[in-house]
Amino acid sequence: MHLQDKVIIVTGGAHGIGRALCRRFANEQPRGLIVADIDFESAHAVANESHGVAVKCDVSLEQDVKNLIEQAQSTFGSVDLFCANAGIAMSGGAELTNDEWQQALQVNFLSHLYAVRALIPSMLERGSGYFLHTASAAGLLTELSSAPYSVTKHAVIALAEWVAITYGKQGIGVSCLCPQGVKTRMLQGDHPVVDMLHETALEPQQVADCVVEGLASEHFLILPHPEVAEYFQRKAGDYDRWLGGMRKLRTRLKLDSTTAD
């Protein structure tokens, strides 16, 4: 998918990777760019610099996602590319409360489902449309410090796979963005996993460049850290060995006393 003259929505567009996507997409001269975020003021600033329109949207609410899409359609016409990018991180495992798990599910996963559900019928009618799902390397591998993050990112990839298989022949394209560390607010804080991810962390602009390339070639996986493909192959090649390696890494990072041990 090339972005010139396209109508694009980016959720979580106010900061980090989403902001970099908006800035980068603006260079491709889209017909319309919607910067959607729960943080309207910052979304507005990003929209101003990327010739876009800011919309306040809490992606965890289905009605907000529907309203966002309706607003994009009435302002610019049919949505060509929906970038489900908003996300949250939280540390912890099974012991987190149901409310915390629910929040992770809603923001990191159900928001993607809401967009797919709202857009698939009109995309099928037109025979075209594209979803970019920001998942994470944690969706292919795991995130040692967070069960909800790992689970919800796996769920995103599962949904994206399903959509790609089910509707791929009817003109609907899907890509999953699966970076490791990216230097955004999400990668802040004092934690051994954060320190480890910082060693290979990319700037958000580098990720955005990769996305534009990945969309142009319409690859399902967009991997700004190419080594993730190798880790994923190792996991598939010998799951037990991979689990053993991850346990060792957990010990090396001194996480053994942190969660459900």
Ligand X SMILES: NC(=O)c1ccc[n+]([C@@H]2O[C@H](COP(=O)([O-])OP(=O)(O)OC[C@H]3O[C@@H](n4cnc5c(N)ncnc54)[C@H](O)[C@@H]3O)[C@@H](O)[C@H]2O)c1
Which residues does the annotation mark as catalytic? 149
**Which residues have C-beta within 8 Å of that of residue 167, sequence separation ≥ 6?**
120, 123, 124
Question: In angstroms, what is the minimal distance from the CB of 124 to ligand X?
Answer: 26
Q: Of 33-41, 68-76, 212-220, 247-255, which part binds ligand X (CB under 6 A)?
A: 33-41
Burial label for 10, CB within 10 Å (0-12, 13-18, 19+), is buried
- When binding is defined by CB under 6 A, the residue of 52, 87, 129, 214 that contacts ligand X is 87
Site string for ligand X, 119-158 (x = CB under 6 A): ---------------x-x----------------------
Q: Using CB under 6 A, which residues numbered 165 to 224 contact ligand X?
A: 179, 181-182, 184-187
Q: Is 91 in the site for ligand X (CB under 6 A)?
A: no
Residue 35, beta-bridge partner list: 10, 54
Of 230, 89, 200, nearest in space to 151 by CA: 89
Give residue 198's identity as a one-letter amino acid code: H
Considering the complex, state which of residue 6 and residue 15 has its C-beta at the smaller distance from ligand X: 15
To the nearest 5 percent, what fractions of the chain are helix, strand and coil? 55, 15, 30
Tell me, what DSSP letter sits at residue 140?
Answer: T
Considering the complex, state which of residue 5 and residue 227 has its C-beta at the smaller distance from ligand X: 227
Which residues here bind ligand X, judged by CB under 6 A? 11-12, 14-18, 37-39, 57-60, 85-88, 107, 134, 136, 179, 181-182, 184-187
